[in-house]
Chain A
Amino acid sequence: MMRVPTSERVLAYVILIVMAILVIAPVLAGSITAFKPQIIWVSSPPTWIFEPTLENFEFVFFTRKGWVYLRNSLIISVGSVAIALLLGVPAAYAFARFRFRSSKALMQWLISLRMIPPIVVGLPFYAMFLYLERGLGIGLRDTFPGLIITYQTFLLPLVIWMMRGYFAELPAAMEESAMVEGYTRLGALWRVVLPVVWPGIVATAILNFIFAWNEFFLALILAGNRTSTLPMTAGTYIVRTRVEWGNLFAVNLIIMVPVILLTIALRRQLVKGLTFGILE
């Protein structure tokens, strides 16, 4: 290890601490509000010493049906990540291993999809769903399949780009060896390649889950009463006359906690996956 001078180390810590405070302080202050009784949500100056209560959580979770939205968010996020992996992992493998017509242009087109603002995707999808409903009687508006399909527009490119990187790192001889040793290409992919890129798949799944879980705008346009997600309902606590701070932050915590827990639980795979090929 290289020795870093103490002065530089101190400076690095100071900068890191300041940055951490800037990022964490508002979240922390808000999260504290989630446990405050309604009467002191907006007291000025803020009250820091109080008896914590779960009444905000009770309100958003039961009275305002938060558990339903949590369930919706889970169905949509898990469903769309699963579909994105199912389609994206084999696609990424094909992009990494085979040269086919305009494969390069296709990859660039895929990354360009990530640059499109959600409203550009959301409105045409809304119109499309409307036509499908009226013309063919296929109802996708305000349904889980409808949202899961729509989410592929931003999840699938990310899955393909990330996974292609992992596959490209591996020598083609790895599958070829398995193919000579008695397996089909799919067999080789399943038994030899996927176990090696597993940390990459986990990292890709987590990142995509976070994107899907936090998605707000497409859901706002395409989801309805039956499929509202947690981020959408957070918006309902900001009404014309006031902001229900305690309830809003209670919902926020419900949104954040699963992501944080997931990241902590799988952090080793995540780091391994995100630094694939960089660290040995």
Chain B
Amino acid sequence: MKVVLQDLVKRFANSDRAAVNKINLVIEEGELAVLLGPSGCGKTTTLRMIAGLEQPDSGRITIAERDITDLAPKDRRVAMVFQNFSMYPTMNVYDNIAFPLHAVKMKRGEIDRTVREVAALVNIDHLLGRSVRQVSGGEAQRVALARAMVRRPEVFLMDEPLSNLDAKLRVQLRTEIKRLHQDTGTTFIFVTHDQEEAMTLGDKIIVMNNGDIQQVGSPHEVFFAPKNAFVANFVGTPSMNMLPGAVSGDNGGGYRLQLPGFELSLPARFHDGLARMAGKGVIWGIRPEAIRLVAEAGENTVSGEVELVEALGSRDLIFVRAAEQLFGVIVDAQESVAVGAPCHLHFAGGQMHLFDAESERSLLNDCG
């Protein structure tokens, strides 16, 4: 179902800053939306307000046009999976999954059928008789998923459900959640601080910081077209290389960017934005994947020396000291270079990002 948040505000008594600061958000029916941000950004508070576990100070929440702002959690037709809780410890797997059905006074035969059906869907039908001590962390989190699904909620809410699992299991369950979303076609709202998890799962990513929504977009949009310096820096591992700079016009009607120790010519797509920026400072950014090692110095290159090499598998992350700055560069493992080797970094104009140093907004989507 379609979820709409309207001017949602939440303040906590012990803080003068709003945890959620008048946010507006539309999540379409059947979408898998990911709330992404660092801890304390307001993503979990937002999710908890949708669940009814926190009451907003102002604003409205609707699910499928139904205003649920003042309803008790139990009446919202949502289901939630938590980070630090998966199974009721005094019940076995079967009773855990049946638990939400007892609340609606379902008949025993129907409960039994539903429990087995849902358990099969998340591959725990062989564990039904087990107690909490006899299941692993991953299995317990599947029980939580089953319990969430069993009442056929209109919206699934997931609060970092994979954070307490080990890396391999996390990736495996991530895929299953994605599959579950495809099979059920229900709206999912997933909270995480892990940008890789957000990228792989989300149809739509909502990047949050300090209680505000920074950007809403597809995984590609937030990665390739970040609206501001925060999103650019937060999304993507390893992080985008960013430097403060100053812009000046050149003779041919173009612009040049002075960075500490070197300068670059800026591509035409920035011209509109730069025209409004006369004399102001900018932040320049480029992703480690977008930097090329080239054989010779030339236009838009800077020369330096490899300081550190980290193997990532098929690719290496190398750190290059150039013009007294440290650049992270992703290179193919086969083309990798030794520590101490001299090299030239080339920055492709098409992959540069520019932000207003003051507002930190991108110069490309200045209107948005």
Contacts and interface: CB of A to CB of B under 8 A. Distances in A.
Interface in A96-139: 99
B365 interface: no
B85 A180 contact: no
B26 to A, nearest CB: 22
A179 B74 CA distance: 6
Interface residues of A, number: 18
A176 B53 CA distance: 7
A196 B89 contact: yes
B89 A177 contact: no
A224 interface: no
B314 interface: no
Given A176-B53, A192-B88, A184 B82 contact: no
B219 interface: no
B151 interface: yes
Contacts of B90: 192, 195-196
Contact of B51 (A171, A180, A191, A196): A180
Contacts of B84: 171, 173
A180 B52 contact: yes
Contacts of B80: 176-177, 180
A181 B85 contact: no
Interface string A165-187: 00000010110111111111001
A69 B100 CA distance: 50
B79 A179 contact: no
Interface string A239-255: 00000000000000000
A137 to B, nearest CB: 45
B151 A181 contact: yes
A176 B88 CA distance: 12
Interface residues of B, number: 26
Interface in B159-214: none
A204 B157 CA distance: 37
A242 B7 CA distance: 83
Nearest to B157: A180
A180 B89 contact: no
B186 to A, nearest CB: 15
A180 B88 contact: no
Interface string B80-110: 1011110011100000000110011000000
Contact of A180 (B13, B79, B83, B104): B79
Contact of B79 (A99, A181, A192, A195): A181
A45 to B, nearest CB: 58
Contacts, number: 63
A183 B104 CA distance: 9
B344 interface: no
Given A192-B88, A195-B90, A196-B90, A181 B99 contact: yes
Contact of B82 (A99, A177, A183, A192): A177
A183 B105 CA distance: 12
A181 B100 contact: yes
B346 interface: no
Contacts of A187: 103
B72 interface: yes
B73 interface: yes
A214 B278 CA distance: 86
A181 B103 contact: yes
A267 B89 CA distance: 22
Interface in B44-96: 51-53, 72-74, 76, 78-80, 82-85, 88-90
Nearest to A182: B103
B147 interface: yes
Interface string B12-35: 010000000000000000000000
Given A174-B85, A196-B89, A196-B90, A181 B74 contact: yes
Nearest to B72: A184
B162 to A, nearest CB: 15
A173 B163 CA distance: 15
A179 B51 CA distance: 9
Interface in A77-102: 99
Contacts of A183: 74, 103
Nearest to B78: A180
Contacts of A179: 52-53, 72-74
A99 B90 CA distance: 27
B154 to A, nearest CB: 12
B85 A182 contact: no
Nearest to B82: A173
Contacts of A184: 72, 74
A188 to B, nearest CB: 9
B53 A182 contact: no
A99 B12 CA distance: 11
Contacts of A196: 88-90
Contacts of A192: 88, 90
A176 B151 contact: no
Contacts of B157: 180
26 contacts: A171-B82, A171-B85, A173-B83, A173-B84, A174-B85, A176-B53, A176-B73, A176-B82, A176-B85, A177-B88, A177-B144, A178-B99, A180-B78, A180-B80, A181-B74, A181-B99, A181-B100, A181-B103, A181-B147, A182-B74, A182-B151, A183-B103, A184-B72, A192-B88, A195-B90, A196-B89
Complex A-B, nearest 4 residue pairs according to Cβ-Cβ distance, in ascending order: A182-B103, A173-B85, A181-B100, A173-B82
Given A177-B144, A180-B80, 17 more contacts: A173-B83, A173-B85, A174-B88, A176-B51, A176-B73, A177-B88, A178-B99, A179-B72, A179-B74, A180-B76, A180-B79, A181-B79, A181-B151, A182-B103, A182-B104, A184-B74, A196-B90
